[in-house]
Structure 1
């Protein structure tokens, strides 16, 4: 579409704007709790309604250091073999996946 106003030409291309946000495909698991965090030897992960299908734990270099497949609403992550530091966990249910930070002292 090209329109002229006085001696200035204005060209408008066909484009559309959609109501989107910058994000990933993560969602919030209802009443997800991870405690204690920070922890010395373990974390307890629990949800109110969704069974946790898998838990992956990664160090900050992106190396997977643990994988659990509990299919339960409450899961204990044993951290006794992990060195102190920060970790990222991916928690998956049938409805999607969320990531959370874990700290081992």
Structure 2
């Protein structure tokens, strides 16, 4: 089964998801550019994301999107640690600020 939970917004505020698509897309392009320099890390990143997708933890975002007001797009990036057994991990940035400075 699946669980649905509320996002923890401050009381008496109306959440705005404006422009989260553009932020997530810009971050994704930066990640892609960084990973082009290291094919091993790129393949590990792809493997992680494919597993996350197959587990149903996320959905692929469309390449073009017109209205992001009802959906939240979560930016992500890689963190590499040479000393750990898992060299690469993917971090989802739920604290990313929108165009109004709200996270």
TM range, smaller chain: under 0.3
Instruction: Point out which structure has higher relative CO (alpha carbons under 8 A, 6+ apart).
Output: 2
If the length of structure 1 is used for normalisation, what is the TM-score? 0.23
If the length of structure 2 is used for normalisation, what is the TM-score? 0.24
Q: Which has the larger radius of gyration?
A: 1
Structure with more of its chain in helix, by fraction: 2
